[in-house]
Chains A and B, each alone.
Chain A
Amino acid sequence: MSNLGGRRVLDLDWVENWARRVNEDRVLPVIGRFFTVRFVLGIDDTDFLCEVRRGKIERISEGLVPSDMGYEFALRAPSAAWMKFSQRVPPPMFNDIWAMAHPLHKQLHIEGNQKPFWQNMRALTWMLALMREV
Chain B
Amino acid sequence: MNKHDPIVGRYVYVTCQGKTYRTYYEENGEGIPMVCLHTAGSDGRMYRHQLCDPDISANFRSIVFDVPRHGKSLPPAGWHLEEDEYKLTTSFYAEFIVEFCRALELHKPVIMGQSMGGNICLELALRYENEFSALIAMEACDHSPGWWIDPLHHPEIHGGEAVATSVFGLMSPESPDEYRWETWWYYAQGGPGIFKGDLYYYSVDSDYRDKVHKISGKLPIYFLTGEYDFACTPEMTMRTAEKVKNSECIIFGGGHFPTSEDPDKFKEVITPVLKKILQNDPQRRGGATQNWPSSQGDGGGSRNRSSEDTPQRRVIDL
Q: Give A contacts to B, CB under 8 Å.
A: 12, 16-17, 19-21, 23-24, 56-63, 65, 67, 89-90, 92-93, 95-99, 102-105, 114-115, 118-119, 121-122, 125
Contacts and interface: CB of A to CB of B under 8 A. Distances in A.
A95 B314 contact: no
Nearest to A17: B298
20 contacts: A12-B316, A16-B318, A19-B318, A20-B301, A20-B318, A21-B297, A59-B315, A61-B306, A65-B310, A92-B230, A95-B169, A99-B228, A102-B231, A115-B151, A115-B154, A119-B158, A119-B162, A121-B161, A121-B165, A125-B165
Given A20-B299, A121-B162, A122-B161, A93 B233 contact: yes
B315 A96 contact: no
Interface of B: 145-146, 151, 154, 156-158, 161-162, 164-166, 168-170, 172-174, 227-228, 230-231, 233, 297-299, 301, 303, 306, 308-310, 312-318
Contacts of A23: 299, 318
A19 B315 CA distance: 13
Contacts of A98: 166, 169-170, 230
A95 B173 contact: yes
B315 A93 contact: no
Q: Is the interface of B mostly helix, strand, loop or mixed?
A: loop
Given A65-B310, A89-B173, A96-B168, 7 more contacts: A12-B316, A23-B299, A57-B318, A61-B314, A92-B230, A104-B233, A119-B157
Query: Closest 4 CB pairs between A and B?
Result: A96-B169, A99-B230, A20-B299, A118-B151
Contacts of A60: 315-316, 318
Contact of A103 (B146, B154, B158): B146
Given A104-B233, A115-B157, A63 B313 contact: yes
Contacts of A24: 299
B316 A125 contact: no
Nearest to B310: A65
Contacts of B166: 98, 121
A12 B315 CA distance: 9
Given A20-B297, A60-B316, A104-B233, A92 B227 contact: yes
A98 B162 CA distance: 12
Contact of B154 (A19, A118, A125): A118
Contacts of B301: 20
A71 to B, nearest CB: 14
Nearest to A126: B165
A92 B170 CA distance: 9
Most buried by B among A19, A114, A122: A122
